[in-house]
């Protein structure tokens, strides 16, 4: 199986890449840095925020699975999610549990912040929780079924605590 990991050198991606490679999968990992390949891991230097890089990568390769750890603006995501859905059997989109509004217990049916907030000034932004919810909506409204949305609650590694991100 051939897997593409976008943002695979971050706190969560690094660990997943190793697990996939140890399981015998052929893993391509995008990185803005030049990194040496390892057994079953091929690093591709390029910036996923550059749409030309993404188009070229997907034109040259077909991946059974694409796992996306990237943080995009909603405009960026809108310009590329069809590329991902149309060039893989299964697309895994890493969102965040921060999409949910405050609740004692969070389930899939819990209200999302995007859907319940009335703060027009806040809604006019592309703040992390809002952009992730908007990007989830794009996937859900795509009429495609080859995607999975994952919403981690906390992300960390042994060398750093990652509470969120900005570009």
11 contact partners, CB below 8 Å, separation of at least 6: 155, 156, 157, 160, 162
What's the rounded Cα separation, in Å, for the pair 49 and 116? 30
2-162 homologous superfamily? NAD(P)-binding Rossmann-like Domain (3.40.50.720)
Tokens of 34: 């030049």
Quickly count: other Cβ atoms within 10 Å of residue 33's Cβ. Answer: 7
Q: CB of 80 within 8 A of CB of 142?
A: no
Candidates 79, 72, 31, 86; CA nearest to 51 is: 79
Largest CA distance in the chain: 51
Q: CB of 101 within 8 A of CB of 95?
A: no
Q: Return the residue matching tokens 């034109």.
A: 59
Q: pLDDT tens, position by position, for the chain (167 residues)?
A: 999 999 998 878 888 999 999 999 999 999 999 999 999 999 999 999 999 999 999 999 999 999 999 999 999 999 999 999 999 999 999 999 999 998 888 888 899 999 999 999 999 999 999 999 999 999 999 999 999 999 987 666 665 555 555 55
How is residue 111 annotated by DSSP?
Answer: P
Q: CB of 51 within 8 A of CB of 80?
A: yes
What's the rounded Cα separation, in Å, for the pair 91 and 65? 6
What's the confidence (pLDDT) of residue 10? 84
Domain boundaries, given as residue ranges, for the chain? 2-162
Phi, psi angle pair for 130, to nearest 5°? -70, -45
Q: What is the pTM of this model?
A: 0.90
């Amino acid at each position: 199986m051939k897997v593409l990991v976008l943002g695979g050198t971050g706190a969560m991606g690094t660990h997943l890449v190793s697990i996939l490679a140890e399981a015998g999968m052929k893993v391509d990992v995008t990185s803005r840095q030049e990194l040496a390949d390892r057994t079953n891991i091929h690093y591709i230097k390029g910036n996923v925020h550059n749409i030309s890089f993404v188009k070229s990568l997907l034109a040259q390769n077909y991946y059974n699975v694409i796992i996306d750890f990237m943080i995009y603006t909603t405009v960026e995501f809108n310009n590329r999610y069809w590329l991902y859905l149309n060039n893989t059997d299964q697309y895994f989109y890493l969102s965040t549990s921060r999409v949910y509004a405050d609740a004692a217990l969070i389930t899939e049916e819990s209200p999302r912040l995007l859907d319940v907030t009335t703060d027009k000034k806040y809604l006019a932004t592309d703040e992390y929780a809002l952009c992730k919810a908007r990007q989830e909506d794009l996937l859900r409204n795509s009429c495609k079924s080859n995607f999975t949305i994952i919403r981690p609650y906390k992300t960390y590694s042994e060398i750093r605590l990652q509470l969120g991100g900005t570009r």
